[in-house]
């Protein structure tokens, strides 16, 4: 069945069985019986946290008004908790995305230790990841999960004891945390055939290459994967060897990337199954529809991005002389930039953390920093504005004016290369950022154990 017909059927089912959505439709004068085609569906009002999930009582948001057998929690950008019920059936659907990633790692035939490095407790990432790894094991994958969470000392304690019993080790966590774990030393990562599964942040291909070198990977297309997910609905899409191959090509050709994505930044690029999570693009932002513990119809998550069909993607690339060297699933692509409020504006130019990250990942400075930083625009007593970057030093590294100078030079070089607004809007005398260096774990800027924010207003 055409995914567009399936999404109309899902709408009808949710309208019948989810009390809050039925009430939402009545409030917007929508008769579900009139929604018969995809064109009808595309005219439905959008749902958001403010207009839908926060407006109705939790049981009413669930199928038949019954809360699932497990609840995860997310805090979002405001700190106010959101609750996301789900059942084992919901996890099985998400486990398909993990299966696609682990298949690329050869995990059906290889004994695999999956080390869950996301925060545990009520938080959605660690709980979902652990559950999905166990679902793979139940299917017959020789996967064993251990869940030290985001505790570096515990990871260093258990992995050396367990890893020799397995053919490969998969670390699953947020990119900067995984880099901290690998860089901490004391564990012979290169001897464990390490794979990395990341989520939550856009990272550069320079970062992927850096991590590949530090863990001894031979081909990161088959040893890394980024998941695109939300607390609201779990994993929506995942990198494949094909999408990584494409992204690596685009990383070296920013003009081609801009033509494809309409933006100078390099986004996360994943493939998704439209029968399970159906994406739409509206005004440069993403909507999705999916049957979850809280079923969501045309849910607006405020992520900037867009969708490209499988055939259109390959045709575009062929028009630029590129044919991927690896095969992948015949599934559409979704690209994700993240949310615009994670940028800072400087002389009218949007400065993105992704651009700064590339400068910190160059060989001249990468060994001296962790990769974490805080980007902000400051004013002096005369109200002159400057771009300021506070950078976390790698353990054992001493701050010096020479290092700050080297970091500033690397960052501005790649800002000018990757960000045409920055190159054209910012006066040359004001392009070099002010670089401040802080020790590892600085409590004000880089407190351990929490998800890092790269910008400040």
Average pLDDT value over all residues in the chain: 91
Give the model confidence (pLDDT) of 162-217 as tens digits.
999 999 999 999 887 888 889 888 899 999 999 999 987 778 898 899 999 999 99
Q: pLDDT tens across 127-177, in order?
A: 889 999 999 999 999 999 999 998 889 999 999 999 999 999 999 998 878
In this prediction, residue 80 carries a pLDDT of: 63
Percentage of the chain beyond pLDDT 70 is 96
| pLDDT one-digit tens code per residue, 50-87 | 999 999 999 999 999 999 998 887 754 434 678 889 88
Task: Give the list of residues 6+ apart from residue 451 with CB closer than 8 angstroms, or none.
Answer: 119, 174, 200
Write the pLDDT tens digit of every residue in 241-276: 999 999 999 998 989 999 999 987 789 999 999 999
Average of per-residue pLDDT across 438-447 = 92
Across the range 334-353, mean pLDDT stands at 78
Q: What is the C-alpha to C-alpha distance for residues 406 and 402, in angstroms, rounded to an integer?
A: 6
120-141 pLDDT tens trace: 887 778 888 999 999 999 999 9
Identify the helix (H) or strand (E) that includes residue 33: none
- What pLDDT does 79 receive? 44
pTM for the whole thing?
Answer: 0.81
CA pair distance 376, 145, nearest whole angstrom = 39
Structure tokens given for 399: 């701050």
Q: What's the pLDDT band for 457 if we cut at 50, 70, 90?
A: low
| Token digits of residue 436 | 């401040």
Which residues on adjacent β-strands are paired with residue 389?
375, 435
Give pLDDT, residue 78: 39
Alpha carbons 59 and 71: distance in angstroms, whole number: 12
> Degrees (nearest 5) of the Cα angle 340, 342, 347?
80
pLDDT for position 162: 98
Which pLDDT belongs to residue 338?
66
Q: How far apart are CA 204 and CA 216, in angstroms?
A: 18
- Residue 217: name the closest of 159, 173, 170 by CA: 170
């Amino acid at each position: 069945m055409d995914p567009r017909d399936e999404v109309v059927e899902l709408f009808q089912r949710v309208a019948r069985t989810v009390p809050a959505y039925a009430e939402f439709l009545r409030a917007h004068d929508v008769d579900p019986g009139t929604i018969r085609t995809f064109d009808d569906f595309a005219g439905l009002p959008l749902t958001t946290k403010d207009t839908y999930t926060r407006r109705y009582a939790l049981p009413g948001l669930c199928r038949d008004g019954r809360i699932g057998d497990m609840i995860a929690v997310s805090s979002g950008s405001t700190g106010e908790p959101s609750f996301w019920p789900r059942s084992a059936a919901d996890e099985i659907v998400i486990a398909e995305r993990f299966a696609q990633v682990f298949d690329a790692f050869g995990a059906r035939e290889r004994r695999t230790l999956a080390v869950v490095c996301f925060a545990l407790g009520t938080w959605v990432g660690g709980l979902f990841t652990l559950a999905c790894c166990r679902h793979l094991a139940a299917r017959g994958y020789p996967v064993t999960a251990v869940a030290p969470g985001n505790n570096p000392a515990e990871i260093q304690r258990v992995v050396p004891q367990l890893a020799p019993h397995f053919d490969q080790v998969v670390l699953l966590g947020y990119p900067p945390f995984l880099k901290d774990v690998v860089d901490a030393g004391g564990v012979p990562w290169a001897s464990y055939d390490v794979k990395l599964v990341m989520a939550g942040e856009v990272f550069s291909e320079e970062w992927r290459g850096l991590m590949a070198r530090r863990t001894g990977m031979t081909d990161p297309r088959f040893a890394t994967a980024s998941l695109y997910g939300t607390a609201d609905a779990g994993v929506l899409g995942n990198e494949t060897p094909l999408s990584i191959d494409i992204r690596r090509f685009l990383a070296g050709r920013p003009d081609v990337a801009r033509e494809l994505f309409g933006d100078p930044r390099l986004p996360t690029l994943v493939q998704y199954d439209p029968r399970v999570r159906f994406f739409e693009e509206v005004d440069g932002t993403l909507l999705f529809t999916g049957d979850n513990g809280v079923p969501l119809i045309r849910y607006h998550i405020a992520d900037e991005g867009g969708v490209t069909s499988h055939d259109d993607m390959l045709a575009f690339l062929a028009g630029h002389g590129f044919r991927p060297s690896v095969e992948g699933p015949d599934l559409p692509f979704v690209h994700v930039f993240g949310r615009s409020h994670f940028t800072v504006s400087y002389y009218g130019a949007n400065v993105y953390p992704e651009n700064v990250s590339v400068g910190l990942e160059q060989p001249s400075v990468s060994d001296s920093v962790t990769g974490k930083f805080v980007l902000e625009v400051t004013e002096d007593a005369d109200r002159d504005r400057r771009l300021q970057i506070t950078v976390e030093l790698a353990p054992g590294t001493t701050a010096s004016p020479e290092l700050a100078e080297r970091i500033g030079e690397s960052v501005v070089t790649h800002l000018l290369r990757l960000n045409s607004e920055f190159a054209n809007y910012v006066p040359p005398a004001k392009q070099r950022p002010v670089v401040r260096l802080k020790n590892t774990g600085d409590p004000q800027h880089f407190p351990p154990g929490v998800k890092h924010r790269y910008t400040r207003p």
